[in-house]
Amino acid sequence: MKMSGAEMLLESLKREHVQHIFGYPGGVVLPIFDALFKDPSLQVVLTRHEQGAVHAAEGYARSTNKVGVVLVTSGPGATNTVTGLADANMDSIPLVVITGQVPTKMIGNDAFQEADIVGISRSCTKHNFLVRRIQDLPRIIKEAFYIARTGRPGPVLVDLPKDVIVDKGDFIYPDSVSIRSYNPTMQGNRWQIRKAAQAISKAKRPVIYAGGGIISSDATKELLDLVTLTNIPTTLTLMGLGALSGTHPRFMGMLGMHGTYAANMAIHHCDLLIAVGVRFDDRVTGKISEFSPHSKVIHIDIDPTSIRKNFHVDIPIVGDAKNILKDLIEEIKEINKPEPPSKDKLIDTWIEQVDEWEKEHPLTYEHDTDVIKPQYVIEKVYQFTQGDCIVSTDVGQHQMWTAQFFKFIKPNTWLTSGGLGTMGYGFPAAIGAQKAHPDKRVIAITGEGSFMMNIQELATVASLDIPVKIVILNNKYLGMVRQWQEFFYGGRYSSSFIGQSPDFVKLAEAFGIVGLKASRHDEVENVILDGFSRRGPVLMEFHVDPEENVFPMVPAGGSNIEMIFEAPEHRDDRKKRDSILTA
Amino acid sequence: MSEIQKHFIQVVVENKFGVLSRVAGLFSARGFNIDSLSVAPGIDPTVSQMTIETQGDDHVVEQIVKQLNKLIDVIKVVDLSEFSFLCRETLLIRVNTARPGDREEAFRISEIFRARIVDSSPATYTIEVTGDTEKIEAILNFLKPLGIKEIIRSGKIAIAREEQHGGHRPSKHSIEGEYSHHR
């Protein structure tokens, strides 16, 4: 039986076990949406903007480790996906994004709604395809999913011209994929792993620095096994939160620009740095020449380009974190066999030192009952949920406070835009996660600045009754911009005051969902209790201290041990602050 | 920091549309230089061979090699500078031969450099010459006094010398054992 390109696409998606498609219709993809109308086994989540669709697919992918699927039209539909593609590319999120294209014969003629999306997206996808013949379609879809989910995951774009969508052909779906130029290394080199195990056994002050790669490769169990076996103090990157439980005694918190004092000090003073599934991002390392200056470095990563891109490595191991950690644990056990318990003693003083650093500068903030402290709201949300939920954030101060004060117990429960730092990511990501986990509590923690960037998705949650809980920390500023302006630009708040935000409660109601607000400290708990006990989507707005800052902070380009715990020139500008609060 | 050196990188890619722009785009997006580039299909028509002339210190070249390898359509990458290799480029040059004696001079120079006159008009010769960069520069200098009407140079192509090619010298671009041989 001959099938149209549209039908082939849907059949291929089903073979890849796709259940949800995040998308938005338009001219050239109408035949696909028509086929979807006739076939209810694939559920379309209609967002209100294509960027929202991509972030939703990212949230879906990150919370499940499956490939997120997006379907949009040509031209503006396609270009609107670019931010999401770049975001997924930076954070290694597996996506297949299907864009419509004008008919093959019209490509290059500046046809209506034509955009060279394959050209545009080349540098922000893992790979992309233009399907030029119907007989290539099933194979390309198979390859797209394979490339998206294997190796270092990432977004793959498939551009489908209108004529290919409507053409008819025989559907032959390949059973397996073999791409001669693409063979990700999965197993680590055994000799290198042995060398790493020896280094770990000899180290007096080792630190594990793990990241998003642990989550992508589903290696949390192996990481926990390694930490349990060796008792090595562990820090996680922003993308890695949840890879080791936030309540684990050896967890030192996040490292880097807004990392904990203990984590940054431990990294600085360690004699062995065990980096797993991380890429030595500048927000993590600070001044690279002063990052972990005394350590021997083991770097485990599936992407060879990550190794020695930013930082020197003594024992590089390319491969899948899960496999390598398993082998590494085996090797360590082998070495420990003759004299098992001495290992712990070796690093006992080091653990004591880390504990001391933790006591010296724990994560904290000035408690104040006159205003709502944003950190207080996050603590209360954590207390209420006990971490049994999926949390997404946008980008800025609220993101850092959530990373600091919310304890992520399990992997795949933390969705944030780490590499690209995309404001507007969080709310749609929560929608995607909720679609994947209908029975889980999904919370989007955001700021009033970020939330405005994809606020149209309120219509999505309202129309599909997606019970995402939205927590807006409204401080009337683009908070992180304001913080930098306060610290480094003489307090000149250029374009960072956004106090004229809409009345979010009324806005929520206008979209048809419940809106709640807390303006006083004593209202916070009630709003959380009320909001979280409701069934459908709820927006909770908290009017928080406008000039609260994120601490500790490593000023950009500074060394990680030069953390600051208060504003460089402490300005007591109570009056101005009060006038904003009462405005 | 090691010093900046010239490198010739051989890249075998899928012979598909858009691959050249992936390679070129990688260089521009990551701030690497392309000094010259030449591309043509291989004996196997499904692959294309590129020779890229670039420069950078060891760290930059390591990244170039790794980033090229990461492109899905790239099959093989070899930094020829790790081997002994031959490099060639071709020059097509049109010189004035209007004055008396010019034609003889152009002919003599061509003889010396084993160049060939491939086209002629009453007032010009077009000369083709192939060789390494020094040879091309040298013939250019000799021909200049005649008056150059037009020149066109190909990108460079390079090939490793046979005796070294099969050797098991470890690459400078990965620490030994960085990769496993079990995929």
| Residue A536 DSSP label | S
CB contact under 8 A, A122 and B21: yes
Q: How far, CA to CA in Å, does A198 sit from each of A315, A327, A484, B16, B55? A: 11, 13, 44, 46, 38
Is the pLDDT at A439 greater than 50, yes or no? yes
**B21 lies within 8 A of chain A by CB:** yes
Smallest CA–CA distance from B22 into chain A, residue? A122
pLDDT score at B180: 59
pLDDT score at A346: 75
pLDDT score at B52: 97
Could you please report the per-residue DSSP string of B68-87? Answer: HHHSTTEEEEEEGGGS-EEE
Nearest to A260 by CA among A348, A347, A359: A359
pLDDT score at B173: 64
Nearest to A544 by CA among A472, A495, A492: A472
Asked whether A301 and A279 are in contact (CB, 8 A), the reply is yes
- The band of B2, judged by pLDDT with boundaries at 50, 70 and 90, is confident
- The band of B183, judged by pLDDT with boundaries at 50, 70 and 90, is very low
Q: Which of B25, B72, B174 sits opposite A123 (nearest CB)?
A: B25
Is the pLDDT at A464 greater than 70, yes or no? yes
Is the pLDDT at A191 greater than 70, yes or no? yes
Nearest to B53 by CA among B25, B19, B27, B76: B27
Based on the residue annotation, tell me whether A113 is a catalytic residue of this protein: yes
Is the pLDDT at A468 greater than 60, yes or no? yes
pLDDT score at A583: 47
**B62 lies within 8 A of chain A by CB:** yes
Nearest to A119 by CA among A68, A148, A76, A157: A157
Asked whether A410 and A461 are in contact (CB, 8 A), the reply is no
pLDDT score at A579: 53
Amino acid found at A267: I
Asked whether A9 and A98 are in contact (CB, 8 A), the reply is yes
pLDDT above 90 covers what percent of chain A? 94
Give B11-35 pLDDT, tens digit per residue.
999 999 899 999 999 999 999 999 9
- The band of B174, judged by pLDDT with boundaries at 50, 70 and 90, is low
Residue of A143, A157, A182, A193 to mutate, testing the B interface (most B Cβ within 10 Å of its Cβ): A182
* E runs forming strands in A147-194: 155-161, 168-170
- Rounded distance between C-alpha atoms, residue A284 and residue A259, angstroms: 8
Rg of chain B (C-alpha set): 20
Q: Which long-range contacts (CB under 8 A, 24 or more apart) does A523-526 make?
A: A524/A372, A524/A376, A524/A377, A524/A380, A525/A380
Is the pLDDT at B182 greater than 50, yes or no? no
Give every CB contact of residue A313 below 8 A, 6+ residues apart in sequence. Answer: A275, A297, A298, A299, A307, B175
* E runs forming strands in A400-522: 414-415, 442-447, 469-474, 514-518
Instruction: Dig out the tokens for A464 from the structure.
Output: 């599909």
Measured between beta carbons, the chain A residues lying within 8 angstroms of B175 are 313, 316
- Which candidate in A142, A162, A296, A469 is catalytic? A162
The alpha carbon of residue B75 is apart from the nearest alpha carbon of chain A, in Å, by 4
Smallest CA–CA distance from A324 into chain B, residue? B180
CB contact under 8 A, A183 and B18: no
Asked whether A444 and A541 are in contact (CB, 8 A), the reply is no
- Rounded distance between C-alpha atoms, residue A224 and residue A226, angstroms: 5
Strands A20-23 and B5-14: unpaired
| Residue A92 DSSP label | T
- The band of A471, judged by pLDDT with boundaries at 50, 70 and 90, is very high
State mean pLDDT over A473-479. Answer: 97
Give A361-413 pLDDT, tens digit per residue.
999 999 999 999 999 999 999 999 999 999 999 999 999 999 999 999 999 99
**Chain centre to alpha carbon of residue B99:** 35
Give A539-567 pLDDT, tens digit per residue.
999 999 999 999 999 998 899 999 999 98
Is the pLDDT at B165 greater than 70, yes or no? no
Taking residue A142's Cβ as centre, other Cβ atoms within 10 Å add up to 18
Residue that has been written with the tokens 């009952």 in this structure: A369
Give A422-435 pLDDT, tens digit per residue.
999 999 999 999 99
Give A325-339 pLDDT, tens digit per residue.
999 999 999 998 876
The count of residues in chain A is 583
Is the pLDDT at A209 greater than 90, yes or no? yes
Query: Rounded to 5 degrees, what are φ and ψ at A318?
Result: -90, 130
Arithmetic mean of pLDDT over chain A: 95
State mean pLDDT over A437-452. Answer: 98
CB contact under 8 A, A181 and B74: yes
Give A297-312 pLDDT, tens digit per residue.
999 999 999 999 999 9
Nearest to A131 by CA among A162, A153, A108, A154: A162
Residue of B12, B179, B181, B183 to mutate, testing the A interface (most A Cβ within 10 Å of its Cβ): B179
State mean pLDDT over A102-120. Answer: 97
Q: Between vectors from CA B22 to CA B20 and to CA B26, what angle results, nearest 5°?
A: 120
Asked whether B124 and B96 are in contact (CB, 8 A), the reply is yes
Is the pLDDT at A35 greater than 50, yes or no? yes
B28 three-class SS: helix
pLDDT score at B170: 53
Is the pLDDT at B171 greater than 90, yes or no? no
Could you please report the per-residue DSSP string of A229-295? Answer: HH---EEE-GGGTTSS-TT-TTEEEE-STT--HHHHHHHHH-SEEEEES----HHHHSSGGGSSTT-
- Rounded distance between C-alpha atoms, residue A87 and residue A417, angstroms: 7
The dihedral sign for the CA sequence A567, A569, A570, A572 = negative
Q: How far, CA to CA in Å, does B121 sit from each of A346, A390, B142? A: 86, 78, 20
What residues does A127 pair with on adjacent strands? A156
- The band of B71, judged by pLDDT with boundaries at 50, 70 and 90, is very high
CB contact under 8 A, B178 and A303: no
- Rounded distance between C-alpha atoms, residue A54 and residue B66, angstroms: 29
Q: How far, CA to CA in Å, does B85 sit from each of A139, B9, B66? A: 39, 11, 21
Is the pLDDT at A169 greater than 80, yes or no? yes
CB contact under 8 A, B25 and A189: no
